[in-house]
């Protein structure tokens, strides 16, 4: 199935321009305003990437993307804006947890690059569903689990030397529901799979180590990092700041990733260090299971429906 792109704007001329500009590169659908965009998601989804204008009557881009996050959490959300209002940026981060900001006017080259990164992120999210399922399995009694599968999950072979998912669980369990200053950040290396497929495991390991070193240098020395899946890192942070301010900190760090130069077959190749993130406060959860389900709203809804059906 070809991944689809949705553009949402209140100007039909701009939407037609996007369709003409990108028709050879992507499968593009357009929607006139937020309500029509929500209808498109329901009728024609799923969409890999949704790009929305910020200033729209009735429903702002931040509000629209927040709704998309609830209805289609795997969809990568981007904001296209012609203004630099910081309050609007904070709203978009807090409400829609957007992947990229794009500034009007946006060159075709920049737009295509952003969409390709978004597609890589979408495919990574879909592929990492297995990560959540395996992590949820940690909550079940050992007698209910297959010991071999549990062993594979607990002993991830990380080229970074970082501890694995069972260690982050040990760290977080005493903090659930009691510590409002602790935040968990799920960090996804969105192009790692592409690097591994094109250049091999050694290049991918080099890329991951570079990304880990960048994050450790950009964040605080006391922040804890874990390797929780093939392309997924987890960071545990302690901050005396509200959630929105911490989101801004992580958004700033991940948006300023340096480019990484790799040596492949005697050639120097420059690749952007692309990192997407999701973030949650530990205090709002009572268990590791509940926290991981919150990183995947659709899985959480399915589990609630199953529980209701069994009652």
- List of domains in the chain: 4-127 (3.40.50.2300), 131-310 (3.30.70.270)
Top pLDDT among 132 and 177 is at: 177
User: Across 148-296, where does the E strand assignment appear?
Assistant: 182-189, 224-229, 232-238, 259-264, 267-272, 275-281
State the Cα–Cα distance between residues 101 and 81, nearest whole angstrom. 8
| Confidence at residue 69, expressed as pLDDT on a 0 to 100 scale | 85
Range scoring the smallest mean pLDDT among 16-20, 38-42, 108-112, 188-192? 188-192
Does residue 49 carry a pLDDT above 80? yes
Averaged pLDDT, 37-66:
91
| Confidence at residue 297, expressed as pLDDT on a 0 to 100 scale | 52
Taking alpha carbons only, the member of 278, 283, 60 closest to residue 190 is: 278
Q: What is the mean pLDDT of the chain?
A: 80
| Confidence at residue 19, expressed as pLDDT on a 0 to 100 scale | 93
**What is the separation, in whole angstroms, between the first and last Cα of the chain?**
37
- Please identify which residue in the block is written with the tokens 């990192």: 275
Neighbours of 142 (CB within 10 A): 9
Buried-state track 247-265, b at ≥16 Cβ within 10 A, e below 16:
bbbbbebbeebeebebeee
Range 127-130, long-range pairs (CB < 8 A, 24+ positions): 127/193, 127/231, 128/188, 128/229, 128/230, 128/231, 128/232, 129/296, 129/299
State the Cα–Cα distance between residues 68 and 36, nearest whole angstrom. 12
Share of the chain above pLDDT 90, in %: 29
State the Cα–Cα distance between residues 108 and 59, nearest whole angstrom. 26
- Please identify which residue in the block is written with the tokens 């009557």: 57
**pLDDT class of 129 with cuts at 50, 70, 90:** low
Averaged pLDDT, 145-156:
40
Does residue 14 carry a pLDDT above 80? yes
**pLDDT class of 112 with cuts at 50, 70, 90:** very high
| Confidence at residue 32, expressed as pLDDT on a 0 to 100 scale | 96
Taking alpha carbons only, the member of 116, 120, 87, 114 closest to residue 101 is: 114
Does residue 305 carry a pLDDT above 60? no
Top pLDDT among 14 and 142 is at: 14
């Amino acid at each position: 199935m070809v991944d689809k792109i949705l553009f949402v704007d209140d100007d039909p001329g701009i939407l037609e321009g996007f369709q003409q500009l990108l028709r050879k590169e992507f499968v593009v659908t357009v929607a006139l305003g937020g309500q029509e965009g929500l209808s498109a998601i329901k009728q024609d989804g799923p969409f890999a990437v949704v790009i929305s204008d910020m200033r729209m009557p009735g429903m702002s881009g931040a509000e629209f993307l927040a709704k998309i996050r609830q209805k289609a959490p795997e969809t990568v959300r981007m904001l296209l804006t012609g203004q630099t209002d910081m309050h609007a940026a904070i709203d978009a981060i807090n409400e829609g947890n957007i992947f990229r900001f794009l500034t009007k006017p946006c060159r075709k080259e920049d737009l295509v690059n952003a969409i390709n990164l978004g597609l890589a992120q979408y495919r990574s999210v879909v592929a990492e569903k297995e990560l959540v399922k395996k992590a949820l399995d940690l909550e079940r009694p050992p007698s209910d689990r297959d010991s071999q599968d549990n062993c594979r999950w607990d002993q991830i072979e990380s080229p970074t030397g970082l501890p694995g998912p069972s260690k982050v669980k040990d760290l977080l369990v005493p903090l659930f529901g009691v510590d409002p200053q602790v935040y968990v950040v799920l960090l996804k290396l969105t192009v790692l799979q592409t690097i591994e497929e094109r250049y091999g495991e050694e290049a991918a390991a080099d890329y991951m180590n570079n990304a880990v070193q960048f994050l450790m240098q950009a964040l605080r020395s006391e922040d804890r990092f874990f390797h929780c899946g093939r392309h997924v890192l987890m960071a545990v942070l302690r901050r005396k700041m509200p959630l929105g301010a911490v989101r801004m900190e992580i958004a700033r760090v991940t948006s300023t990733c340096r480019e990484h130069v790799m040596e492949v077959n005697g050639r120097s190749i420059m690749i952007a260090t692309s990192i997407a993130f999701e973030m949650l406060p530990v205090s709002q959860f009572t268990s590791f299971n509940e926290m991981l389900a919150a990183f995947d709203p659709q899985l959480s809804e399915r589990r609630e429906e199953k529980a209701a059906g069994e009652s």
